Amino acid sequence: MPRLHTATSSALGTGTVPHLASRIEDTIHEFRERSARRRGHTPTVIPYSGYGAPGWVRVLGRVLLSKPGSASRYRKIRGWRSFTSVPLNDVEVTVTIGGVSHTVTADRGGVIDSVVEADLAPGWQTINIGIDGGEPAEAPVFIVDPDVRFGLVSDVDDTVMVTALPRPFLAAWNTFVLDEHARRPVPGMAVLYERVLHDHPGAPCFYLSTGAWNVAPTLTRFLARHLYPSGPLLLTDWGPTHDRWFRSGRDHKVHNLERLASEFPQIRWLLVGDDGQHDEEIYSEFAAAHAGQVQTIAIRQLSTGEAVLAGGRKSDDDARSPAETRRIYAPDGAGLAEQLLGPDPR
């Protein structure tokens, strides 16, 4: 069983005074929580897809204050409304798996991110998450068979979803304005992923993004609507941390890749991203640090217009992966599939 990880582990045990921004955020959360409770709002668990292996499960979710009976509404919420919900921080949550209960604690943003002991069969399973005074929720978890030797990690923006926006406005636009109906999938990527996973039964699929947990329901609906394979989202929590104004998206991706390498050392990964951010650089550094754990780095090449909006294409001249790590490049899923799998026989 891997060691316990939490969403706020980097901020614990530092022995330093919390950053001014985090103290301001905590004060705002406390005010909003008191106001919501006066209006009769109760704790609600919003479950996210988790994952694990025989012996352990990583439980993911978020605790919010909401009107009684409105849990299903939060799972359908879109755009800026996802950021008006009131997180309930530092509260105990009960995770029940196979009749055995475990107590975990949500972080200062209400995010549940904990590893608990459990012995579930490989494949998709269901666990229960509950909180005192609130509605219980069922969360899907994908259990990876120890015999599986292949896995897929995919970026989201400009990799599975066309954004075509200047980077400074991308996160705000996708988070506060658009819903899943207004977003366009990258052509051919869903078919590529379906073919890859069909050829590797039982392989896990992770969607690694710098997006906020608030938009997890929207992203989940987008992926399902466009027939992408089901898989856990590995997102982050917006806002200040214990020691800085804003979280680092790059550090978030690096941390989660390192974590997956530690949790599943037997797996060789297909890493899919685009050339408009730092995906290739991050993937190359990961491959160099974990020789033998990366099978292929697949990079979607942005169009000229997309690259201009993204601030140009990022070069990977300074960070090369090991010679045994295969690299492929194409502007869409069909081009990547042709190189990775050969022509589609259908």
Q: Whole domain around residue 130: which residue ranges?
A: 9-143
For residue 144, the Cα-to-chain-centroid distance in whole angstroms is 17
Do both 19 and 123 map to the same domain? yes
- Given 3-state DSSP classes, what are the helix, strand and coil percentages for the chain, each rounded to the nearest 5? 30, 30, 40
Residue where a domain terminates, one of 91, 112, 143: 143
Q: DSSP for 34-95?
A: HHHHHTT-EEEEEEEEEEEETEEEEEEEEEEEE-TT-HHHHHH--GGGGGSSEE--S-EEEE
For residue 340, the Cα-to-chain-centroid distance in whole angstroms is 24
Q: Which amino acid, one-letter code, is at 73?
A: R
Q: State the CATH number of the domain containing residue 315.
A: 3.40.50.1000
pLDDT value for 238: 61
Question: What is the rounded CA–CA span in Å between residue 20 and residue 27?
Answer: 11
pLDDT value for 241: 46
Q: Is 252 within a domain?
A: yes
Question: What is the rounded CA–CA span in Å between residue 205 and residue 232?
Answer: 7
pLDDT value for 307: 58
Q: Is 282 within a domain?
A: yes
Tell me which H or E stretch contains 140.
strand 137-143
CB neighbour class for 264 (10 Å; exposed up to 12, middle 13-18, buried from 19): buried
Residue where a domain terminates, one of 109, 143, 177: 143
Do both 92 and 134 map to the same domain? yes
Answer whether 215's CB lies under 8 Å from 175's CB.
yes
pTM recorded for the entire structure: 0.83
Sign of the alpha-carbon dihedral angle for 226, 228, 233, 239: negative
Do both 67 and 136 map to the same domain? yes
Any residues with CB less than 8 A from the CB of 273 and at least 6 apart, and which? 154, 155, 159, 279, 280, 282, 283, 297, 298, 299, 300
Do both 29 and 139 map to the same domain? yes
Do both 296 and 231 map to the same domain? yes
Answer whether 102's CB lies under 8 Å from 94's CB.
yes
**Cβ neighbour number for residue 165 with a 10 Å cutoff:** 18
Do both 161 and 134 map to the same domain? no
- Residue 316 is classified by DSSP as -
Strands 150-154 and 161-162: unpaired
Q: Is 3 within a domain?
A: no
pLDDT value for 169: 56
- Specify the number of domains making up the chain: 2
What residues of the chain score a pLDDT lower than 70? 1, 3-41, 67-85, 164-182, 238-248, 304-323, 343-346
Residue where a domain terminates, one of 94, 110, 143: 143
Q: Is 46 within a domain?
A: yes
Do both 195 and 85 map to the same domain? no
Answer whether 49's CB lies under 8 Å from 230's CB.
yes
Cα–Cα distances in angstroms (integers) from residue 26 to residues 70, 110, 239, 322, in the given order: 25, 11, 11, 44
Do both 139 and 221 map to the same domain? no
Answer whether 188's CB lies under 8 Å from 306's CB.
no
